[in-house]
Structure 1
Amino acid sequence: MAPQQEKGQLDPGVALPSSRLFTWEEINLRNGQGESARERWLVIDRKVYDITRFHKRHPGGSRVICSYAGQDATDPFMAFHVDKTPVKKYMKQLMIGELAPDQPSFEPSKNKLLVEDFRELRSIVEKMGLLKPNPLYFFVLLLHILLLDAAGWFVLWYFGTSVTTFIIATALLLIAQSQGGWLQHDLGHLSVFSNTKWNHILHEFVMCHLKGLSAKWWSFHHSQHHAKPNCFLKDPDIEVHPTIFSLGKPLSEELGRQKKKYMPYNHQHKYFFITMPLAVVPVFQIYSVYFIFQRKLWRELAWCATYFIRFFICFVPLLGVKGVLGELLLLIILESILFTWISQLNHIPMHIDYDGNMDWFSTQLLATCNVNQSFFNDWVTGHLNFQIEHHLFPTMPRHNFWKVTPLIKSLCAKHGIEYQSKPLFAGFADII
């Protein structure tokens, strides 16, 4: 159920078990918790699957598929998988039965009409071809990133290393890193090429060679966020260590009652500006390296090494070894600040709580808001100002977001759901 899971690790020739009928009550108990902690089931298109043993081998990671244990996973399954035919082929041996005829297709707690309307919307989106990418568009994006990166070096090489040229070069390199981050995000979601293999190959090049980070680590981490955004214990983006931050009212109150704190949460907005942004990218670097060695991703390690080798070869003759180390540190700090503010303004101001097992549409709209469209906002955020559209259709190419917006707004209006979009700086203020 993650962006990268296009192949199963099962034998498609295994015979199917005899069909059994289940109720939602039975399925809800198999959520990996409580008395049935060892069992994990989920439902896709009324079929019941036992993922108890499979989840650790899930190509998209264990946590993302387990976040829907005991629940209906039809819509996230549809959202994350580009080519569903081979995946369904490998799912056969996991199927243990289906919902009983007297059971509704959706869990009783969910809004049946809303679920049906969203699935109809998805069908319309597919017929309109909005999930089909335009590779030329992304080639231009990659070209402008490479030109920005080269321009950062050229300014220092041609004009010398004065304070002014150093600032200009750093700004160019920072923009290149930021834009590279948005492009790798597109590739990680398999939204650049129709062929998933090419998405993976270019994802490694952009994430590992141009940014020095693990592509697979990002995919595993980010797919968990998309599955259950702003849900405690399921969204890693809000699993901030409670000794520093507590995001969302429920967790803050819970920790307060337990007296689990080392920092004053009621004053965290005063130190967020410095502490949080400075920690993000350095922590990413640490976890990325740990992930590479843990999974023995030696090809990614080699790609990441080329990023630092290239940087040193280009800039040591101009800045010296200490200067290059300082420039690397400065870029990490500046990108961390930029990335934190741009990526979090769509989620941190929104509802944060434990998983309420809502339908896919409500889950995404409750935890996500947009930033108003403009050429600058589209470019500087990598089109993630269309965060609502992206969360509802994670494999949709960014150049089609604006086309689906009217359809989503119409569905929101029909069901009385707020579609939030705000100016860029208003989004920054809402983080505070």
Structure 2
Amino acid sequence: MGRGGQGETNAVDVKRPLQEYTWDDIKDKTTNEGKWLVIDGQVYNVTSWSRRHPGGSKIISHYAGQDATDAFRAFHNDLKLVQKYMKAIHIGSVKESQLQVKPVEKDFRELRDVAEKMGLFQPNLVFFLLHLLHILLLDLAGWAVMYQFGAGWGPYVVSLMLVSTAEAQVSWLQHDFGHLSVFRNRPKLDHLLHFLTMGVIKGASPSWWNHMHYQHHAKPNVIDKDPDVRIEALFVVGDKMPVQVAKESKKSMPYNWQSYYFFLLGPPLLFPVYFQVMLLRYIITRRAWLDLLVVALFFTKLFYLYGPILGYWGALAFYFFFRCLESHWFTWVAQSNHIPMEINHDTGLPWLQLQLQATCNVEQSFFNDWFTGHLNFQIEHHLFPTMPRHNLHKVAPLVKSVCEKHGIPYKVKPLGTAFADIVRSLKHSGELWYSTYQAYHTPAS
């Protein structure tokens, strides 16, 4: 190997011919001493750049040693701008004899080009404005009910429902801004509105969300890469994780009961407990002081509006209750698309196959679209994360046709079935863990 393969690579010397590399040269470059990835047949050394990567170090590191072409295109709206920063880490190309684009990759890239030509990546700003307005009205109405009628159980429950609905809906809207799908090539506006919705309205850390959620999109349902399936402290999911945990652990949670205790530890506590701890930990360890400021603004608003009506502790209790209700809403929706799907270690699948293996859709209706924030089109959202959600249904038939051509399952379920499948999959995984655990850790008689 030439100089391009030795540790860190500085700006490319235009006088020096770029190296050609085989996949054997590239696939092992996955450590902190050397991380390489491939985009459009070109090799990039991201060892140092990963620490400065705006999307976080982990998301780019998850593709070390692999072809990241479709992932790169999925996350970046302005490719020309990004490519300017890539010149300094460009070290060569894949040998022409090893440049083989799989038919499924070729067809998916053609599909994306068709979606671009159809204008499906162009946002309708009125759509997002109306969603923001309906959230603000729900939030205001929640406070106005108690302000006008007092804190009796009737007004309290109505207010709780209105605020919980506003918080659930703002989860979907901040998701749009976080994916830079609202203002297209004006990312600063998306970032600004993300801090407003996720921070001031919702009281969470936008940077923490980006750190977690982008990893999930890059490698969904991939063990040790997708943070959404790093849950073995409480749950085991899929077919691989239960066996792995059962073999490695002599003592652990009673996972064979997880489909039952999920109702106590999952939907009720995800937002009011787990997420609160994780986002505060992120803010403190990463010194994300802007995130701390917007979270502080949220709690200032909360106590200013509800403190005079409910008192300090009453306002805090009200916060816990609507977080708990919102947590149920979010958890059932988010997990219905992923937990029942395949969960495995990274096998380097092409983008289309990776996303279809880990996601499924829920049937379309006006209610389902609103209730799930259009994440009933989870397949299309994962394939095109920067596509505005109001266009996901338009690209769905094209995606389905490509999947049919290549024999890739394209699953669509009724909403109730999708929810029930969460429990069924947890039960299956728990039983798989139990049988494996018994086989490995029960003393022979």
Same fold (TM over 0.5): yes
Query: What is the rounded CA distance, in whole Å, between the counterparts of 1:121 and 1:235 in structure 2?
Result: 26
Equivalent of residue 312 in structure 1, options 300, 303, 307: 303
> CA offsets, 1:266-299, max 9 Å, x none?
2211111111223321222222122222332222
Matched, 1:328 2:327: no
| Structure 1 position 200, deviation (Å) | 0.3
Equivalent of residue 303 in structure 1, options 266, 269, 294: 294
Q: What does residue range 115-134 of structure 1 map to in structure 2 within 5 Å?
A: 115-134=105-124
Q: Secondary structure at the match of 1:394?
A: coil
| Structure 1 position 51, deviation (Å) | 1.0
Equivalent of residue 140 in structure 1, options 126, 130, 133: 130
Q: Secondary structure at the match of 2:228?
A: helix
Matched, 1:214 2:205: yes
Equivalent of residue 73 in structure 1, options 68, 71, 77: 68
Matched, 1:50 2:45: yes
Query: What is the rounded CA distance, in whole Å, between the counterparts of 1:248 and 1:377 in structure 2?
Result: 26
| Structure 1 position 16, deviation (Å) | 7.9
The residue number in structure 2 matching 1:150 is 140
Q: AA paired with 1:55?
A: S
Q: Secondary structure at the match of 1:277?
A: coil
> Residue 12 of structure 2 contacts residue 91 of structure 2 at CA under 8 Å; is this kept in 1?
no
Equivalent of residue 90 in structure 2, options 85, 95, 100: 95
Matched, 1:114 2:104: yes
> CA offsets, 1:79-136, max 9 Å, x none?
0001111110110111110011211244xxxxx1111000000000011110111111
TM-score normalised according to structure 2 size: 0.90
Query: What is the rounded CA distance, in whole Å, between the counterparts of 2:10 and 2:142 in structure 1?
Result: 50
> Residue 16 of structure 1 contacts residue 93 of structure 1 at CA under 8 Å; is this kept in 2?
no
The residue number in structure 2 matching 1:199 is 190
Query: What is the rounded CA distance, in whole Å, between the counterparts of 2:22 and 2:113 in structure 1?
Result: 28
Query: What is the rounded CA distance, in whole Å, between the counterparts of 1:260 and 1:234 in structure 2?
Result: 24
> Residue 15 of structure 1 contacts residue 93 of structure 1 at CA under 8 Å; is this kept in 2?
no
Q: AA paired with 1:320?
A: G
Q: Secondary structure at the match of 2:269?
A: helix
Question: Unaligned stretches of 5+ in structure 1?
Answer: 1-9, 107-111
Query: What is the rounded CA distance, in whole Å, between the counterparts of 2:347 and 2:328 in structure 1?
Result: 31
> CA offsets, 1:320-371, max 9 Å, x none?
2221111011112222222111111000000001011100000000100001
Matched, 1:60 2:51: no
> Residue 11 of structure 2 contacts residue 89 of structure 2 at CA under 8 Å; is this kept in 1?
no
The residue number in structure 1 matching 2:385 is 394
The residue number in structure 2 matching 1:416 is 407
The residue number in structure 1 matching 2:261 is 271
| Structure 1 position 243, deviation (Å) | 3.3
> Residue 11 of structure 1 contacts residue 90 of structure 1 at CA under 8 Å; is this kept in 2?
no
Matched, 1:383 2:374: yes
Query: What is the rounded CA distance, in whole Å, between the counterparts of 1:21 and 1:239 in structure 2?
Result: 37
> CA offsets, 1:241-280, max 9 Å, x none?
x232111221111111123542111221111111122332
Matched, 1:403 2:386: no
Equivalent of residue 422 in structure 2, options 391, 412, 431: 431
Q: Secondary structure at the match of 1:43?
A: strand
Q: Identity of paired residues, percent?
A: 48
Q: AA paired with 1:244?
A: L
> Residue 346 of structure 1 contacts residue 370 of structure 1 at CA under 8 Å; is this kept in 2?
yes
Q: AA paired with 1:223?
A: Y
TM-score normalised according to structure 1 size: 0.93
Query: What is the rounded CA distance, in whole Å, between the counterparts of 1:53 and 1:260 in structure 2?
Result: 39
The residue number in structure 2 matching 1:291 is 282
The residue number in structure 2 matching 1:29 is 28
| Structure 1 position 11, deviation (Å) | 9.7
Query: What is the rounded CA distance, in whole Å, between the counterparts of 1:302 and 1:17 in structure 2?
Result: 48
Query: What is the rounded CA distance, in whole Å, between the counterparts of 1:197 and 1:116 in structure 2?
Result: 32
Query: What is the rounded CA distance, in whole Å, between the counterparts of 2:65 and 2:16 in structure 1?
Result: 20
Equivalent of residue 180 in structure 1, options 170, 176, 185: 170
Moved more, 247-256 or 220-229: 247-256
> CA offsets, 1:394-424, max 9 Å, x none?
0000000110011011111111111101011
Aligned residue pair count:
413
Q: Secondary structure at the match of 2:93?
A: strand
Query: What is the rounded CA distance, in whole Å, between the counterparts of 2:57 and 2:81 in structure 1?
Result: 20
Q: AA paired with 2:55?
A: G
Moved more, 71-80 or 261-270: 261-270
Q: Secondary structure at the match of 2:98?
A: coil
| Structure 1 position 74, deviation (Å) | 0.2
The residue number in structure 2 matching 1:4 is none
Q: AA paired with 1:153?
A: W
| Structure 1 position 192, deviation (Å) | 0.8
Q: AA paired with 2:144?
A: F
Query: What is the rounded CA distance, in whole Å, between the counterparts of 1:341 and 1:406 in structure 2?
Result: 26
Q: AA paired with 1:330?
A: F
Query: What is the rounded CA distance, in whole Å, between the counterparts of 1:381 and 1:118 in structure 2?
Result: 26
Stretches (4+) displaced over 6 A: 10-14
Query: What is the rounded CA distance, in whole Å, between the counterparts of 2:290 and 2:233 in structure 1?
Result: 36
The residue number in structure 1 matching 2:361 is 370
Query: What is the rounded CA distance, in whole Å, between the counterparts of 1:52 and 1:407 in structure 2?
Result: 37
Give me the CA root mean square deviation: 1.6
Question: Unaligned stretches of 5+ in structure 2?
Answer: 1-8, 424-445
